[in-house]
Amino acid sequence: MDMRINPRPLSGTVTPPPSKSMAHRLLIAAALADGVSTVRNVALSQDIEATLRCVTALGCHWEQPKSDVVRVQGIGGKLADRGGELPHFDCGESGSTLRFLIPIALAAAGGGVFTGRGRLMERPQKPYFDLFDEMGIFYELQGNTLTVRGSLPCGEYRLPGNVSSQFFTGLLFALPLLGRDSTVVSTTALESSDYLSMTVKALRTAGVSVSFQPERRRCRVSSAYFKPFDAAVETDWSQAAFWYAANFLGGDLRIGGLNPLSSQGDRAVIKYAQILSRSGDAEINVSGCPDLVPPLAVMAAVRQGTTYLTNAARLRLKESDRLKTTAAMVNALGGRAVEGTDSLTVHGVPRLTGGTVDGANDHRIVMAAAIAAAGCSGLVTILGAEAVNKSYPLFFKNYLALGGDVSGV
């Protein structure tokens, strides 16, 4: 589905969707609990549906008594006997689902068979594979299918923290199931530590004792039964960032539902928007909040000065090569952006002109292009706009309600 947008400033009140990152974590914690949990304020994007498919494959049951409520009957940490057959997990295009479930499947079921679509299986799994080589755990990646089989031991796990915090999260969910306390240690600087703070919060919600020491780059997690709970997912700062970008381009939006004390690292969008509102060159280290790069690039495209978004190499392994596609989006609309090996440099221009943007099957590129369109001088066409369904299915409905002039073509 392609979208055509006539430039028009956005105004009104908008509440971004619930945090996809926290919804993944709470639903998985509920699936591992011994009893029935209720997770409220859930939006069923494609990624969250992938996690629900996978926890169903683990053996839990869930229902929706209301459209934004999911009630989960957990498995108590152990999968029912399948006669030696490994469970199958369809992860769609959700990197969080895949990386979280790999160690959980080993701990609860002795392994699993994982499939994915798009670029999912191209994303690096080396931190897990290196651990599996040390522990004698079998793994085999063939095309879009990954098979793992074996047992996770208790003890200390050492892995790099500069690839993705998702590997740490997966282990922290799995290790409490093993019968003894364990520790996860980062052998490098720990990037995206705020995502681990979200994991710790979800684990504690389910009654798991966790000691997180960011300065020492280590987490200690106790052996525990996950307890059932009732919790609400907070509003998503990463999606709110697009609406902040709309205001930067001249919009008049009131963005509701956000927790200013959230553990979500993407709340930094407020600070970075303030930095970009000042003229002159600016450098922003995005290692802890890489998802902010597309909306920050939109802001940078129309400010006075050059903006350097640095330490962003991980963006090359998202739904698209997001450094390349963010630069292409800005340039297609009349801006000036240059990708580096692990950075994006954006030279501000007086105004974006409009044009045609390839959405690159990437939800964040589509949303960034739509927000940029509000500040363009000419028509904008976005190819493959349906990619927003991965994380924010109501994005264009909200966009219209805020005065946007958008139509399918």
The secondary structure of 162-220 as a DSSP string is: SS-THHHHHHHHHGGGGSS-EEEEESS--TTHHHHHHHHHHHHHTT--EEEEGGGTEEE
Catalytic residues: 291
**Domains 3-17+235-408 and 20-232 are alike in CATH topology:** yes
0.85 exceeded by pTM: yes
* pLDDT at residue 315, rounded to an integer: 93
Domain ranges of the chain: 3-17+235-408, 20-232
Classify 3-17+235-408 by CATH class.
Answer: alpha beta
* pLDDT at residue 83, rounded to an integer: 63
Residue ranges in the chain whose pLDDT is less than 70: 79-83, 409
Classify 20-232 by CATH class.
Answer: alpha beta
Cβ proximity of 172 and 210 under 8 Å: yes
Cβ proximity of 276 and 300 under 8 Å: yes
Q: 3-state class of 45 per DSSP?
A: coil
- The 8-class DSSP code of residue 52 comes to H
* pLDDT at residue 81, rounded to an integer: 59
